[in-house]
Structure 1
Amino acid sequence: MTPLSLDSPRPVPLLPIPGARVLQSTFLLVVLVFAVWVLWRIAPRLKRRTDPRAVDVFLLVVSGIVALLIGQYALSLWPSARPNAPNVDLRSTGIRVLITVGVVAAAYIGSGMLVRAVDRFTTETGQLTGHQGEVFSRLTEVGVYLLAALLLLSVWRVDVRAFLIGAGFLGIIIGLAANETLSALIAGFTLMFSRPFEIGDWIQVPLEDGTRTDGIVTDITLFSTRIETFSGKYVILPNDLVGSNTLVNYNRKGRLRLEVEVGIDYGSDPNRAIDIAKETMENSRVVLNVPQPDAVLTGFGESAVLLELRFWIDRPSSRRRWRATTDVIASVKTAFDREGIKIPVPQREIAGREDTDGFRIASERRDRRGRSERSERSERSERSERSE
């Protein structure tokens, strides 16, 4: 090592003194914060003039580039930080950062375009309900961002195999621990795309205790179906229970047939009763004329010939069903009374049996024996009084 002489010139430092470096770094940080603040400050104005998603992507890209440039310049101010990370290649790292920003921006724009395409398809064709379109849009977004995440892992040279193996074991554990939840989730997808019913439909569904209840569908989620019964109760059913049992949809065709049974007297003319019932139902304001109301004889009762009234209503609901049933019963009853068609009530004739020798109940014989003994005592007491 060659010693320095006193006469040799002193080396000129290439970088400023540490105090100036701190000042410059602070200034760069302030500039970065101010630049980002200005960009996001003008964002609302830009969104009113152009596509909001394009503005968000522009802000994301510009913010990333500004942060990268300022960070690289700040690192050049502090050469002592470079030995601590000797394997960092600023050039390749910068390229990866730019690729990351581009992939995120592309995923953001692509998911937005797909969501708008799904919304347009739902609105124009009507093949998907609003709820189904929303679920499909969310699944599309998740798929796009998942592909972007896998691409970024490969860009940053992350070992994806270990990640996939860990995800596989995690999926097995979750599948064993949440079997019912996953089955409800799969059944939810099946219900949404098979469309056995929609929100607002009147359906009848089974319950866990074996009974059945009917009500209006208020919401369909990935895990459950919510029904409001006509008594004001909210019933939340798991989708696997709904999908694995038989259900009845009263709104599928937009109309519903109702039946009312009435009895006519054996002495009345059944054909005349049928004609009167049909004419009465056709004149009802709550009964559809097409399909035409009908009345058929269904059997013999204990005291009447059974007549079944069949009629249709549109836009089925519990209120319309009971309103139509009440109107038909009241109208037919009034028409039968006016035309002399009797609606009989059950009658029974009770006749006593003659007292003959034969078997009698033991208690009855004891009662009769007691009454005879009392009558004999009373007769003896009367005879004794007369003799005195």
Structure 2
Amino acid sequence: MFTFKEYSQEIFATVILLISLIALRIIVANLIRSYAKTSQLIEHRTNLVIKYTHILMNILVTVCLIVIWGVETKDIFITVSSIATVIGVAMFAQWSILSNITSGMILFFSFPFKIGDTIKIHDKDFPLEAEIEDISTFHVNLRTKEGEKIIFPNNLLLQKGISIMPAKYEDREFYD
């Protein structure tokens, strides 16, 4: 039968770990938001990065909980390596998904363009000039002058040459 004294160290360590996770999630989210404000990044993209960092922290805490509750370290490594192998094989077949997610993160942190910018994609087979409507994890939504909506994968944006077109202002006379 379960007794508190028998598992008091594990319970105490679990409580400390969970409190630390909550505090760390709040601190990391605030740091990412403050970076986003200073860099004038879009809230939608900021929330995606926060979501990904929280997932990573949850995975690390799960591994720590497994260690705290006495699972053998060699068993953890065997399980993790087996899972990583299966995911690696599956993702190799779906490398474009990983490529688009990675490209989305690179676009988030380097931020060469923003929503509302008009860009020109230099592609010999399919040159394109369009305005950026949205930037998501996997793709960028573009709208051409003709009103055509184009969904362009993030990894292709990093592979192709891109020009950010200057904003077009109407020439008007100024009256004082």
TM range (shorter): 0.7 to 0.9
1:190 corresponds to: 106
2:163 corresponds to: 248
Percent identity over paired residues: 18
1:112 aligns with 2:3: no
2:52 corresponds to: 139
1:169 aligns with 2:85: yes
- The structure with the larger Rg is 1
3-state SS in 2 of match to 1:185:
helix
Aligned pair partner of 1:201 in 100, 117, 137:
117
Task: Report the TM-score, using the length of structure 2 for normalisation.
Answer: 0.80
What CA distance in whole angstroms lies between the structure 2 residues aligned with 1:204 and 1:172? 35
What CA distance in whole angstroms lies between the structure 2 residues aligned with 1:137 and 1:128? 16
Q: Is the 8 A contact 2:17 2:61 kept in 1?
A: yes
Does the C-alpha gap of structure 1 residues 175 and 128 become closer, same or farther in structure 2, counting only changes over 3 Å?
farther
Q: Is the 8 A contact 2:45 2:135 kept in 1?
A: no
Q: Is the 8 A contact 2:130 2:145 kept in 1?
A: yes
1:154 aligns with 2:67: yes
The structural deviation recorded for 1:94 is: 4.3
1:349 corresponds to: none
Does the C-alpha gap of structure 1 residues 128 and 147 become closer, same or farther in structure 2, counting only changes over 3 Å?
farther
* Divergent runs of 4+, >4 A: none
The structural deviation recorded for 1:89 is: 5.3
Does the C-alpha gap of structure 1 residues 181 and 143 become closer, same or farther in structure 2, counting only changes over 3 Å?
closer
Aligned pair partner of 1:226 in 106, 127, 141:
141
Work out which structure has the larger RCO, using CA pairs closer than 8 Å and 6 or more positions apart in sequence.
Answer: 2
What CA distance in whole angstroms lies between the structure 1 residues aligned with 2:56 and 2:40? 20
3-state SS in 2 of match to 1:218:
strand
What CA distance in whole angstroms lies between the structure 2 residues aligned with 1:183 and 1:136? 16
3-state SS in 1 of match to 2:5:
helix
What CA distance in whole angstroms lies between the structure 2 residues aligned with 1:117 and 1:241? 30
Q: Is the 8 A contact 2:29 2:50 kept in 1?
A: yes
What CA distance in whole angstroms lies between the structure 1 residues aligned with 2:109 and 2:31? 18
Equivalent pairs counted in the alignment come to 168
Structure 1, unmatched stretches of 5+, are 1-81, 83-87, 252-314, 328-388
Q: Is the 8 A contact 1:107 1:144 kept in 2?
A: yes
3-state SS in 1 of match to 2:120:
strand
3-state SS in 1 of match to 2:112:
coil
After TM superposition, the structure 1 = structure 2 runs for residues 331-350 of structure 1, keeping only pairs within 5 Å, are: none
Structure 2, unmatched stretches of 5+, are none
What CA distance in whole angstroms lies between the structure 1 residues aligned with 2:102 and 2:35? 24
Amino acid at match of 2:7: T
What CA distance in whole angstroms lies between the structure 2 residues aligned with 1:116 and 1:176? 34
The structural deviation recorded for 1:90 is: 4.3
3-state SS in 2 of match to 1:231:
coil
Amino acid at match of 1:145: N
Q: Is the 8 A contact 1:111 1:141 kept in 2?
A: yes
What CA distance in whole angstroms lies between the structure 2 residues aligned with 1:107 and 1:222? 25
What CA distance in whole angstroms lies between the structure 2 residues aligned with 1:246 and 1:121? 27
1:129 corresponds to: 41
The structural deviation recorded for 1:107 is: 0.4
Amino acid at match of 2:104: G
The structural deviation recorded for 1:128 is: 5.2
2:150 corresponds to: 235
The structural deviation recorded for 1:232 is: 1.8
- Per-residue CA deviation, residues 91-150 of structure 1 (Å, 9 max, x unaligned), is 233442343233222201220122112222332xx2251355333323332332222212
What CA distance in whole angstroms lies between the structure 2 residues aligned with 1:132 and 1:212? 27
Amino acid at match of 1:144: M
